[in-house]
A and B are shown apart, each in its own frame.
Chain A
């Protein structure tokens, strides 16, 4: 006969393992965690499985001497079941505009750094469009305003603010270092062509040209859009802060 107390503990440990396995298999782990932590998370899964196995074996060996366990302890363990149930049965979506927590979009717009632009060797810019926001930021950090004119293709959530002009919108992404709890917004100004429009609060892909727009003394990084196309949420919606 098995000891129910230790079987329950083993079940919780295996529950955490099941969440980790499920998130890796479905590709949903990137909706919660930075891929840089994947090896550590996988190792945690292996260790938890080992702990669960030992707990299960122990439940068969020592069921006769199992101590009493109260209602408060059962309730405490119920709380551990909540993240397991959510991890197994909840379909996560990336953070959206609501996660800004009331921070003003216009206050988050990326700008070229103060002071002189970095000196770059005279080399031709890449002929292809830069792939996404992370590539664009890496490019700008190397070239500064010398990179203006480069073709770019960026993806993010289209947002509007009352402080924007009629032809402007914001492209919102979040960057994470470890997990979604440390997400910080990355907001890029987009200048639409005449009569241009974009579906708000939706993922879009924008092709255009890197440019600069001055406002209140700031030299804002902007993308002059040639096309704005609605897309599905990408497999990995977050940028890496590392």
Chain B
């Protein structure tokens, strides 16, 4: 079956996002299943700091020991919440983990030719968004700050588990993962479809024409990151391509905001934390990332640029 060029591009991008997501979704749903099966609420209560700030800080760096990308962070965060981790800590984890993890640090440093300062700036910007959002959420009434507890009907662990005796071991683990997978994949596929349509049908040439402008470049790359919805382990390579024409602040903003608010996971995030929290996350993260990117551009301008932005292939 051959398609017209534009439809071909849409189909290729759509299928590629779905296939690429599969391993990372599986990592997320199996991590979630492991938490479901082996992490007790008593253990969570023992290790979780009582005060909000230390708990949020812990949530923001938990990705370093539970390395899941953006496709896996939401299922795992939701499962942690179901096990007694406070909602605001689970949300902090979901926002920070796609960037604050060793795999993404490695891919970023490879993309930027061994420049660890880019990795540090990227992680710092991500944490600086996740922590305030976590703290704000901790002050919200429980009716606002809630996570969808279990997968949708039919994919539900509760519904699926009700029809057979409780089990442990690897079969139960796979059953939990199965239920989580069907809940997550619907939203991943929906997000992939919207992302592919956006990438293929929305012209981005005009948006990218403002590359050298300190403010315009940030204003262009942030929504582009949200629209493109590139995996956190691959976006540094795209950002590196932009780095020859765009400001450093805008490139960092691209790598930060794209993992917090993106189309691909937007539907799943919406389903998990609800419209009001999504709007809060979007507003706070866009303001903070934009401000930080402006500051980075000012500092870079004062220092006279950075070495890897030379345009050399």
Residues of A in contact with B (beta carbons under 8 Å apart) = 5, 9, 12-13, 16, 19-20, 23, 31-33, 37, 40-41, 43-44, 47-48, 50-51, 54-55, 58, 61-62, 65-67, 69-70, 73, 76-77, 79-80, 82-83, 86-87, 89-96, 98-104, 107, 110-115, 137, 140-141, 144, 175, 177-182, 184, 221, 241-242
Contacts and interface: CB of A to CB of B under 8 A. Distances in A.
Nearest to B174: A54
Contact of A180 (B1, B16, B203): B16
A99 B9 CA distance: 7
Contacts of B15: 19, 32, 83, 86-87, 90, 92
Given A51-B181, A141-B313, A184 B153 contact: no
A79 B310 contact: no
A95 B8 CA distance: 8
Interface stretch (B35-43, B117-125, B204-212): B204-212
Contacts of B162: 65, 67
Interface in B209-249: 209, 228-231, 233-238, 240-241, 245
Contact of B11 (A80, A86, A110): A86
A182 B238 contact: yes
Contacts of B16: 32-33, 179-181
Contacts of A16: 22
Contacts of B202: 101
Top 9 closest A-B pairs, CB basis?
A113-B312, A102-B205, A65-B163, A102-B203, A177-B237, A178-B234, A179-B16, A32-B16, A179-B20
Q: Interface of chain B, helix or strand or loop or mixed?
A: helix
B203 A101 contact: yes
Nearest to B153: A73
Given A96-B9, A182-B231, A115 B310 contact: yes
B159 interface: yes
B185 interface: yes
A99 B196 CA distance: 11
A47 to B, nearest CB: 6
Contacts of A67: 154, 159-160, 162-163
Contact of B23 (A23, A40, A184): A40
A83 B14 contact: yes
A73 B152 contact: yes
A76 B152 CA distance: 10
